[in-house]
């Protein structure tokens, strides 16, 4: 298996077209979460290497920004093709370092390619305006131009597609990039360097550094050559990056934590709701920022929904991602398991009952049993904290207004879901929920065509959709006089 993926598995960083090691020669180990074994190492870079990567990106920007949108679109289409030609190998590499089931990994790589293709198309639609002038002898033009070098910091839960959402619009707009993948899953990030080379992007357009998150993050946020920071990760680190980026007034895009509510009303199609609940909760073993964190189920349908959810949960096959038929991989690391255990202990000590699961899986390591708990209440930590694991807490409610109020009683506002067959209620609840993404009778809604992004402390800016390229562009007003 390693042999098949080895072509993409780079144990070096890409800076200005060269694959290099850290100045210190230091490395960090990358571990397979399914068995705890070391897969390999990647360079442990810091500020100096990051500065060189930024300078290489700045040098490349001067010619890259002058390429035609059509030429950039062609390269991006080629990048899409290279990804799809290597979908299996990239997916295997992803499973190896991240743990998710192979089918999900293939889906993620397919999604990465889809983002690249979408932005290849959008590259040619970066329109400006000619604005009616208040002066007879002057004309007003509004043009768009690439912001410059961007710094992209990405997490371990979608190590391939989170970079696609950033590199796609950046390259389409004419920006160059320095990317820092998460230390747990650097290979899928470094693979973007190999892919960009194979597609034919000029040296320095895509640079990738791994290593000390704080050192790389400090250089990316403090270096004035970087004009935009795009980040996906925790709200805590997002806030820190925003503060640091303020020093040189960089643009920022932030895709941060979520606390997704999933509301099931009495008039819902219960089977459809359970089907949606399974994908909205257990995808990637609950480790996505759009995963359901809290289920709110109305009184009359409560017991039927719980019974069917428990039954569906019991059928989820837990196992290593590369094992045939596996649907639930391990959690990313021991810390993640401890967090899930802590939140469960807090909930049960405050009255929640375990309906299924509730403990580490017999497979050992970081495998955890898919879990459902009932009797959840607002004073439990799961009301506000992201579980990021395979636990479904069920709250019971009486009235629509009460459910919407509880769903909104959080500082987050990324994704939410609800199930109803009443059209009036569908509109009322959709308009009442303070969330950037709403699934109505759907549990899996992410797609390249639609703008993804949170409200409140879940983030700033949109990824995907026609909106996704906006954050990588500066708007310039030009007044032409003396006509």
Nearer to ligand ADP, 222 or 442 (CB): 222
CA distances from 305 to 230, 264, 278, 388 (A): 39, 8, 12, 22
349 close to 381: Cβ distance less than 8 angstroms:
no
Provide the CB-side half-sphere exposure for 248 (13 A, CA).
15
Secondary structure letter of residue 163 according to DSSP:
H
What minimum distance in Å lies between the beta carbon of 48 and ligand ADP? 16
Catalytic residues: 255
Q: What are phi and psi of 123, to 5 degrees?
A: -55, -35
CA angle 409, 413, 419 (to 5 degrees): 80
CA distances from 9 to 90, 161, 314 (A): 9, 17, 36
Q: How many residues does the chain have?
A: 483
What minimum distance in Å lies between the beta carbon of 63 and ligand ADP? 29
What minimum distance in Å lies between the beta carbon of 19 and ligand ADP? 20
Tokens of 151: 């710094």
Instruction: Establish if 103 lies at the interface with ligand ADP (CB under 6 A).
Output: no
What minimum distance in Å lies between the beta carbon of 191 and ligand ADP? 15
CA distances from 457 to 253, 257, 310 (A): 12, 8, 32
**Tokens 């007879």 found at:** 136
Q: What are phi and psi of 42, to 5 degrees?
A: -135, 160
What minimum distance in Å lies between the beta carbon of 226 and ligand ADP? 12
Helices (H), 34-178: 47-64, 69-85, 87-98, 102-123, 161-173
Site string for ligand ADP, 222-261 (x = CB under 6 A): -----------xx--x--xx--------------------
Instruction: Establish if 340 lies at the interface with ligand ADP (CB under 6 A).
Output: no
Which position among 96, 116, 182, 277 is part of the footprint of ligand ADP (CB under 6 A)?
182
What minimum distance in Å lies between the beta carbon of 44 and ligand ADP? 12
Burial class, 66, CB count within 10 angstroms (exposed 0-12 / middle 13-18 / buried 19+): exposed
Instruction: Establish if 68 lies at the interface with ligand ADP (CB under 6 A).
Output: no
Nearer to ligand ADP, 103 or 215 (CB): 215
Site string for ligand ADP, 106-135 (x = CB under 6 A): ------------------------------
Nearer to ligand ADP, 13 or 313 (CB): 13
What minimum distance in Å lies between the beta carbon of 379 and ligand ADP? 24
Which position among 217, 286, 321, 389 is part of the footprint of ligand ADP (CB under 6 A)?
217
Q: Which of 366, 346, 368 is nearest to 357 (CA)?
A: 368
Instruction: Establish if 333 lies at the interface with ligand ADP (CB under 6 A).
Output: no
Which position among 13, 154, 188, 420 is part of the footprint of ligand ADP (CB under 6 A)?
154
Which position among 28, 213, 242, 426 is part of the footprint of ligand ADP (CB under 6 A)?
213
Instruction: Establish if 155 lies at the interface with ligand ADP (CB under 6 A).
Output: yes
Q: How big is the chain by its Cα radius of gyration, in Å?
A: 23
Nearer to ligand ADP, 150 or 241 (CB): 241
**Tokens 């983002």 found at:** 115
371 close to 344: Cβ distance less than 8 angstroms:
yes
Stretch that binds ligand ADP, among 33-41, 175-183, 264-272, 294-302 (CB under 6 A): 175-183
For 330-394, the DSSP string reads: --SSHHHHHHHHHHHHHHHHTT-EEEE--SB-TT-TT-B--EEEE---TTSGGGTS---SSEEEE
SS3 for 20? strand
Instruction: Establish if 87 lies at the interface with ligand ADP (CB under 6 A).
Output: no
Tokens of 291: 């995963």
**Tokens 């209440």 found at:** 377
Nearer to ligand ADP, 221 or 371 (CB): 221
Nearer to ligand ADP, 174 or 217 (CB): 217
CA distances from 370 to 275, 296, 375 (A): 15, 18, 17
Secondary structure letter of residue 29 according to DSSP:
E
Nearer to ligand ADP, 18 or 214 (CB): 214
Site string for ligand ADP, 260-299 (x = CB under 6 A): ----------------------------------------
What minimum distance in Å lies between the beta carbon of 321 and ligand ADP? 18
Stretch that binds ligand ADP, among 89-97, 142-150, 179-187, 275-283 (CB under 6 A): 179-187
Nearer to ligand ADP, 159 or 276 (CB): 159
Residue nearest to ligand ADP (CB): 217
Instruction: Establish if 214 lies at the interface with ligand ADP (CB under 6 A).
Output: yes
| Positions that interact with ligand ADP (CB under 6 A) | 153-155, 180, 182-183, 213-214, 217, 233-234, 237, 240-241
């Amino acid at each position: 298996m390693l042999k098949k993926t080895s072509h993409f598995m780079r144990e070096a960083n890409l800076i200005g077209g060269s694959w290099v090691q850290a100045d210190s020669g230091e490395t960090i180990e990358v571990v397979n979460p399914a068995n705890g074994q070391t897969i390999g190492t990647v360079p442990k870079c810091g500020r100096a290497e990051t500065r060189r990567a930024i300078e290489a990106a700045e040098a490349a920007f001067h010619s890259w920004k002058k390429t035609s949108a059509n030429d950039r679109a062609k390269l991006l289409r080629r990048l899409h093709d290279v990804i799809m030609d290597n979908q299996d190998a990239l997916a295997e590499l992803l499973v190896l370092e991240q743990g998710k089931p192979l089918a999900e990994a293939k889906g993620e790589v397919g999604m990465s390619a889809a983002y690249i293709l979408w932005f290849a198309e959008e590259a040619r639609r970066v329109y400006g305006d000619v604005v009616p002038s208040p002066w007879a002898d002057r004309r007003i033009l509004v043009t768009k131009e690439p912001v410059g070098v961007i710094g992209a910091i990405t997490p371990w839960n979608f190590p391939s597609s989170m970079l696609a959402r950033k590199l796609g619009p950046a390259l389409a707009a004419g920006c160059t990039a320095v990317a820092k993948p998460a230390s747990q899953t650097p290979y899928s990030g470094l693979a973007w360097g190999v892919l960009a080379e194979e597609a034919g992007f000029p040296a320095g357009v895509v640079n990738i550094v791994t290593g000390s998150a704080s050192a790389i993050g400090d250089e990316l946020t403090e270096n004035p050559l970087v004009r935009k920071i795009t980040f996906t990760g925790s709200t805590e680190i997002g806030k820190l990056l925003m503060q640091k980026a303020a020093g040189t007034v960089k643009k920022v895009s932030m895709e941060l934590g979520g606390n997704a509510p999933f509301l099931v009303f009495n008039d819902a199609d219960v089977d459809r709701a359970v089907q949606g609940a399974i994908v909205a909760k257990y995808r990637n073993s609950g480790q996505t920022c759009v995963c359901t964190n809290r289920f709110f189920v109305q009184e009359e349908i409560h017991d039927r929904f719980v019974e069917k959810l428990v039954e569906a949960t019991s059928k989820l096959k837990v196992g290593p991602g590369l094992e045939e038929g596996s649907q639930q991989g391990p959690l990313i690391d021991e810390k993640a398991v401890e967090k899930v255990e802590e939140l469960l202990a807090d909930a049960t000590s405050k009255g929640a009952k375990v309906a299924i699961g509730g403990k580490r899986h017999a497979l050992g390591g970081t495998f955890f049993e898919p879990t459902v708990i009932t009797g959840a209440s607002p004073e439990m930590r799961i009301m506000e904290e992201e579980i990021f694991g395979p636990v479904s807490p069920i709250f019971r409610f009486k009235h629509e207004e009460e459910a919407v109020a509880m769903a909104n009683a959080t500082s987050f506002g990324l994704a939410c879901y609800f199930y109803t067959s009443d059209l009036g209620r569908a509109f009322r609840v959709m308009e009442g929920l303070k969330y950037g993404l709403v699934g109505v009778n759907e549990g899996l809604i992410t797609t390249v065509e639609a703008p993804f992004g949170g409200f409140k402390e879940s983030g700033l800016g949109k990824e995907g959709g026609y909106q996704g390229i906006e954050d990588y562009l500066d708007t310039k007003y030009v007044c032409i006089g003396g006509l």
